[in-house]
Amino acid sequence: MGQLSMWSEMSKCYLQGEAITLLEMLDAREKRVTIQQEFLQKYPTSALLSATMNIPGPVKNNEQLRLAFLTVIKELESLFPPEKIAAGKQRELKTGSEYYLALNEAPEELKRKVIEIEETHPLGRLMDLDVIYLKNHTCHSISRTELNYKPRTCFICEEEAKVCGRQRKHSIAEMQETISQLIEKGKMK
């Protein structure tokens, strides 16, 4: 079996599962914002880590994706001593895994830590690790550029991810193959 054929078979394995609709994805995002607001209202002095995965295509969750997600979450949790953790919550949905962790940590410091995971962990590139905090009773998130980090790069070409996404530079099949390769590499860690 050739290299390309092997990756195609692997991406079929990793990215099989229940397809979701755009409406389901939009509903999940709306619920995620509500959960984030509830966490920050209950723990107003905390910074909130909100974690999801960047998975293009109609399948957002299956056993392989869930295991990859949990691998990164375990790594994240190891960064914080119990006394820094105010509360946590995990949700497994067909729209993807979600994880919330309220921490007694400065938002900027937390963002630096999650950027380190995004950039160095073999599966970090698959993660969307947002840091949200309350400022004047309003939810704010910290961007990478606010802390003088470069914007995230594309899975495939190392261009700025938002630019590639907006231009639809790569096919879903191409992105799914790359994601499958990242998951395989993450298993070898």
pLDDT digits (tens, 9 = 90+) for 89-130: 999 999 999 999 999 999 999 999 999 999 999 999 899 999
Mean pLDDT of 19-40: 94
Residue 9 DSSP class: H
* Helix axis angle, 3-14 to 63-77, nearest 10°: 80
* Model confidence pTM above 0.75: yes
pLDDT tens digits for 33-89?
999 999 999 998 889 999 999 888 889 999 989 999 999 999 999 999 999 999 999
Q: How would you classify residue 158: left for phi > 0, otherwise alpha for psi between -120 and 50, otherwise beta?
A: left
Using CA atoms, how far residue 106 sits from 45, 112, 133, 142, 165, in Å, is 9, 10, 9, 11, 31
pLDDT for the residue 57: 85
Does residue 67 contact residue 107 with C-beta atoms inside 8 Å? no
175 or 114: whose pLDDT is higher? 114
Distance between CA atoms of residues 62 and 16, nearest Å: 7
Residue 121 exposure: Cα atoms within 13 Å on the Cβ side: 24
Give me Rg for the CA atoms of the chain.
17
